């Protein structure tokens, strides 16, 4: 690293700005290792489930203190019933009621196929204020042969015994009336008890599609 250090030292202005000559192909090629204190991070696939005309998909193992963040990815989620909402809820321990208290917020951007309708709006009919219902993350999904949704849900530090459990989701969906919808939902599960389970389902009827669960290092 001595050559690179001297190169930097000879190419820094008095105000601390690096000159272009401080970084060259030769100097970068001489870097053989990074400081071990620099965290690289990774995503670890923990579970993959596929719905086939299923009422719900539940992730009941692998959600613990191993990871501070869990991410769920939704691939081609297709409802069997038209104009329904894609939802989730969580639970603790071995409980399967999926009725934890949630406070949430949700907004939407949309544009129709005809190019005649656009909007960005807060969706106050799908949020919750200390509610225990399944949280809607994409409403009014279409069940046409080519209609589906895709997106993700982030769940932060579910094993915490100190803090509430925050979540963020973003969904791209084919709205039942031929619109592209971009759905944003965020909130928190208002419990300091560790969460161990997550369930996904439609507000009515069954669905198809794949959900992946990753742990984030």
Indicate if 149 and 121 belong to the same structural domain.
Answer: yes
Average pLDDT over residues 15-31: 61
Structural domain for 89, as ranges: 43-216
Q: pLDDT (tens digit, 9 = 90+) per residue, 35-79?
A: 555 556 799 999 999 999 999 999 999 999 999 999 999 999 999
Give the C-alpha separation, 76 to 204, whole Å. 18
Indicate if 98 and 204 belong to the same structural domain.
Answer: yes
Sign, Cα dihedral of 193, 198, 199, 200: positive
Here the tokens at position 141 are 């999904």
Q: Is 183 helix (H, G, I), strand (E, B) or coil?
A: strand
Angle of CA points 74, 188, 194, to nearest 5° = 90
Q: Residue 2 above 80 pLDDT?
A: no
Angle of CA points 203, 205, 211, to nearest 5° = 75
> What count of Cα atoms within 13 Å lies in the side-chain half-sphere of residue 193?
11
Query: Which residues partner with 78 through β-bridges?
Result: 208
Indicate if 51 and 147 belong to the same structural domain.
Answer: yes
Indicate if 118 and 49 belong to the same structural domain.
Answer: yes
**DSSP character at residue 8:** H
Give the C-alpha separation, 103 to 16, whole Å. 47
Indicate if 69 and 109 belong to the same structural domain.
Answer: yes
Indicate if 53 and 28 belong to the same structural domain.
Answer: no
Here the tokens at position 145 are 């042969």
What integer pLDDT is reported at residue 13 of this predicted model? 72
The answer to whether the pTM exceeds 0.85 is: no
Give the C-alpha separation, 82 to 87, whole Å. 15
Q: pLDDT (tens digit, 9 = 90+) per residue, 90-144?
A: 999 999 999 999 999 999 999 999 999 999 999 999 999 999 999 999 999 999 9
């Amino acid at each position: 690293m001595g050559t690179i250090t001297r190169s930097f030292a000879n190419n820094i202005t008095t105000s601390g700005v690096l000159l272009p000559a401080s970084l060259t192909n030769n100097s970068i090629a001489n870097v053989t290792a990074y400081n071990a204190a620099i965290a690289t991070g990774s995503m670890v696939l923990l579970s993959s489930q596929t719905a086939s005309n299923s009422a719900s998909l539940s992730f009941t193992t692998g959600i613990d203190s191993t990871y501070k963040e869990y991410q769920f990815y939704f691939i081609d989620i297709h409802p069997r019933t038209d104009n329904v909402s894609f939802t989730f809820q969580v639970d603790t321990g071995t409980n399967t009621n999926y009725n934890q208290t949630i406070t949430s917020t949700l907004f939407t951007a949309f544009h129709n196929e005809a190019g005649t309708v656009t909007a960005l709006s807060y969706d106050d009919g799908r949020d919750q204020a200390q509610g225990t219902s399944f949280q809607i993350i994409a409403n009014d999904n279409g069940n046409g042969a080519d209609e589906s949704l895709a997106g993700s849900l982030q769940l932060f530090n579910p094993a915490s015994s100190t803090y509430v459990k925050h979540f963020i989701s973003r969904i791209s969906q084919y709205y039942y009336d031929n619109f592209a919808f971009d759905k944003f939902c965020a909130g928190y599960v208002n419990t300091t008890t560790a969460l161990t389970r997550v369930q996904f389902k439609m507000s009515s009827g069954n669905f198809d599609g794949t959900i992946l669960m990753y742990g984030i290092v």
